[in-house]
Amino acid sequence: METAWFEGLTAARIATVEALLAAAKEADGVAAVGEAVHLRLRPGATGSRHLLAERDGVLVGYLHLDVVGDADGNKVAELAVHPEHRRRGVGTALVEAVLAERPRIWAHGGHPGAEALAAKLGFRKVRELLKLRRDLAGELPEARLPEGVTLRAFVPGRDEEAVVRVNAKAFSWHPEQGAMTEDDVRLKEAEPWFDAAGFLLAVDGDDRLLGFHWTKTHGARRGEVYVVGVDPDAQGGGLGKALTLAGLAHLRATGRDEVVLYVESDNAAALSVYTRLGFTRWDSDAQYSK
């Protein structure tokens, strides 16, 4: 088996990597890498290094290294091994090739093979991202906004700066979300799932942004509470709950009958809110470090 690092990938190599990731998702029932990796696989994307493992000219493994790192300065890796080439040392070789970078490594969906590999190489779990879900059947509680607050849809080309400003304040503690830039927002505006009508902004009488609920759709049936962010100066009046409910109502109105969300396992306040709204645990992603 041969491995090689690339700063950028050709269109042909990108297609091969995407095919491997699709095969892994089909076999495991969960994506092997997160949304950010797929965005970084686009031609011209920067901030990444790509490790490809081939056997007899066939791609058998892929590792993505985010060299920009998260808000805490950690380089972050995600990897996948083709289902037909597992248990042959491919995953071990990929991880060993990146050890000098001292990365944190994501394992999505609690895959037992990933947990075994982490233990074998001396990694420990340092973070867990829970995936919750609920159905959208039946009545939803009314989204009661604080006095003087109204909802409107996001306007591309106008609202990016305000969203990034509020997001940075709301998620100053979060290693990835708090680092979102205006370019990141615009990049996602180009995604097929983006719908400005499902990007709900809570504003005061002067149209000053107080919080937002960015919803996302996955096919015809499933929606996602993608990001709910509230300016800390506007917290305490139930705005976060109201935004969440407004987003759920929007997703149901578009025909979605199930909604999912991700939340840090140690975010007790958010977990309490989502549990009271009927969400239950479905799955989890784990991040490992040496």
List, as residue ranges, the binding site. 35, 79-81, 87-92, 176, 216, 224, 228-230, 235-241, 262
Report the chain's terminal Cα–Cα distance, integer Å: 25
Residues tagged in the binding site annotation for acetyl-CoA: 79-81, 87-92, 228-230, 235-241
**Angle, CA of 35, 223 and 168, to the nearest 5°:** 55
CA distance 281 to 110: 13
Pairing of strands 222-230, 209-218: antiparallel
CB-based contacts of 181, cutoff 8 Å, min separation 6:
164
Asked if residue 60 lies in contact with residue 1, where contact means CB atoms within 8 angstroms, the answer is: yes
Nearest to 33 by CA among 10, 56, 50, 8: 50
Nearest to 159 by CA among 189, 129, 121: 189
